[in-house]
Amino acid sequence: MGEASVDPRRRVPRTDVLLADPGLAAAAVTLGRDRVKVAVARAQQRARHGEITPDEVRDAALAALPAPAPRAVLNATGVVLHTNLGRAPLSGAAVAALVAAAGCTDVELDLRTGRRARRGRDALDALAAAVPDAAAVHVVNNGAAALVLAATALAAGREIVVSRGELVEIGDGFRLPDLLASTGARLREVGTTNRTTRDDYARVIGPDTGFVLKVHPSNFVVTGFTSAVGVGELATLGVPVVADIGSGLLAADPLLPAEPDAASTLRAGAHLVTASGDKLLGGPQAGLLLGDADLVDRLRRHPLARALRVDKLTLAALAATLHGPATPTRMALHADPAVLRDRCERLRDALGAEGHKAEVVPSVAVVGGGGAPGVELDSWALSLPERYAAPLRRGDPPVLGRVLRGRLLLDLRCVPADADGTLRDVVLRVAD
């Protein structure tokens, strides 16, 4: 009997053969063997019913499986801290610490004595060392949580005095006044949207004042006829000053002269500073609390602190971020434009500029993540036709750029240099 007369159903690959395929074996690692077997069985059944050929079973099984979530994305937008992409990418040291912390760890154990130890002591010690101006530090699960804990512990049933010009919306529809009011504190608004003076604060300070709140409006800039009161002046009012600096810059950076940092804010007189860990610090999502020992201790011992506690993975990543080498965020911020241009030119040449209509063009990158509004970073990008945007976004790995005046710009400031080859390959694949 000739091969042509053999029932095609007999050519359907066996289950064990399919499960040994590298692609399906890799999927089994992340999705589980049972789930992959179900996809394989359904693809085999489709082949037996004549819906697909036996040679298509493997691809059909893979196509039926969900893509890993979340998916790693190449950030070619020129936005260093892209909120939709998870803000700060972790350093290699932080990733390694996460992996190590995924199992059993000494997060609350002193291995020398065998006794219980302070939870997250490595991360807390590293944070204290990074900001010596802070007498004490604490960590909760995000920046908003840090402010909520401060408001609950220090001002529940009392007043928080704050300038009207600093009652910001922090993203996703959440507004600072609503957040603070949810703690049981009363807001005492002073000044106007564009101008607030020290006297505005002084007139309302009284026995019901829990603290004065200074908020850095990190996602917008007010210019023109304006005035605001600095932390130093607020510290003379005789009540605690809580400063929410937002972006998590621990020490001054000449690149961001208008961005407040924790060390300078504490030296200016703030009693407590709150900030995020996944922005300019370049670490995991976390809320940082730094300041007077008695205030931080009150917050740490408050019952709400337990509900806002960070897990061992966050603590491990935060400690590695503080101890380790320069983070991807810092490297992207301080990238040399000349180097970025050279990388773009090499990528253009590797693609064959004529076939892809690729060009190297100047670009303007931004900090993003609600930090350093108005700061522009000179950069360079590979410019491609706009039609590349959608297939690159759906590529493997996905590549996200920005479309400007009918062209797709792939800004390399936030793309690691060792990923240039991957970026080239993805562009070549989607162009076929």
Our CA dihedral for 410, 414, 415, 417, rounded to 10 degrees, sits at 120
- Identity of the residue numbered 402: R
Cβ 205 vs Cβ 237: under 8 Å: yes
pLDDT tens digit sequence for 83-96: 999 999 999 999 99
Determine the Cα–Cα distance for residues 23 and 295; give it in Å rounded to an integer. Answer: 54
Q: Which pLDDT band, with edges at 50, 70 and 90, does 344 fall under? A: very high
Listed residues 286, 309, 324: the one ending a domain: 324
pLDDT in tens, 56-67: 999 999 999 987
Does residue 44 sit in the same domain as residue 184? Answer: no
pLDDT digits 0-9 by tens, 13-45: 999 999 999 989 999 998 999 999 999 999 999
Length of the chain: 432
> Does 69 reside within a domain?
no
Mean pLDDT over 350-360 rounds to 80
- Round to whole Å and give the CA distance between 424 and 397: 11
In a shared domain, residues 245 and 381:
no
373 has pLDDT over 80? no
197 and 306 in a common domain: yes
Q: Is residue 116 part of a domain?
A: yes
Q: Is residue 340 part of a domain?
A: yes
CA angle 312-317-321, nearest 5°?
A: 150
Tokens encoding 269 = 């007189």
**Helices 312-323 and 121-130, packing angle to 10 deg:** 30
CATH of the domain at 247: 3.40.640.10
Q: Quick one: which of 380, 378, 400, 388 has its CA closest to 351?
A: 388
Confidence of residue 355 (pLDDT cuts 50, 70, 90): low
Q: What is the pLDDT of residue 1?
A: 43
Domain that holds residue 385: 74-86+330-431
369: in domain: yes
pTM for the whole structure: 0.88
Checking if the pLDDT of 2 tops 60, the result is no
Rounded distance, CA 384 to CA 386, Å? 6
Q: Is residue 21 part of a domain?
A: yes
Last residue of a domain, one of 300, 324, 348: 324
Residue 233 has pLDDT above 80, yes or no: yes
Could you give the CA distance from residue 251 to residue 283 in angstroms, rounded to a whole number?
15
Helix (H) or strand (E) run with residue 284 in it: none
Q: At which of 324, 342, 373 does a domain end? A: 324
**Percentage above 70 pLDDT, the chain:** 95
Is 155 inside a domain boundary?
yes
Q: Are residues 78 and 98 in the same domain?
A: no
pLDDT for position 5: 56
Tell me what pLDDT residue 264 has: 97
Same domain, 112 and 251: yes
CATH number at residue 334: 3.90.1150.110
Q: How far is CA 144 from the centre of its chain?
A: 14
Question: How many independent structural domains does the chain possess?
Answer: 3
358 and 319 part of one domain: no
If one counts every other C-beta atom within 10 angstroms of the C-beta of residue 396, the result is 13
**Within a domain: residue 300?**
yes
DSSP per-residue codes, 239-250: S-EEEEEES---
* 259 belongs to a structural domain: yes
Beta bridge partners of 174: 171
Token pair for 4? 């042509």
Does residue 284 share a domain with residue 136?
yes
Characterise 120 by phi-psi region: left (phi > 0), alpha (psi -120 to 50), beta (else): left
Residues 131 and 158 in one domain: yes
The residues, ordered by sequence, that sit 6+ positions from 163 with a Cβ below 8 Å of its Cβ are 189, 190, 191, 196, 200, 201, 214, 215, 228, 229
Check if the beta carbon of residue 196 is closer than 8 Å to that of residue 227. Answer: yes
Q: In the chain, what are the helix, strand and coil shares in percent, each to the nearest 5? A: 45, 20, 35
Distance spanning both ends of the chain, measured CA to CA:
41
- Can you give the pLDDT at residue 357? 85
Is 367 found in the same domain as 340?
yes
Q: Do residues 316 and 346 share a domain?
A: no
Same domain, 191 and 135: yes
Question: H/E element holding 312?
Answer: helix 312-323
Of 336, 341, 277, nearest in space to 310 by CA: 277
- The first and second tokens of residue 389, run together, are 């945007």
Report CA-CA distances (Å) from 349 to 212, 335, 354, 403, 419.
Answer: 57, 22, 9, 22, 16
79 and 96 together in one domain: no
For 104-138, what is each residue's pLDDT tens digit?
A: 999 999 999 999 999 999 999 999 999 999 999 99
Nearest partner of 262 among 197, 319, 306, 214, judged by Cα: 214
Bridge partners of 380, per DSSP, are 362
* Furthest C-alpha separation in the chain: 101
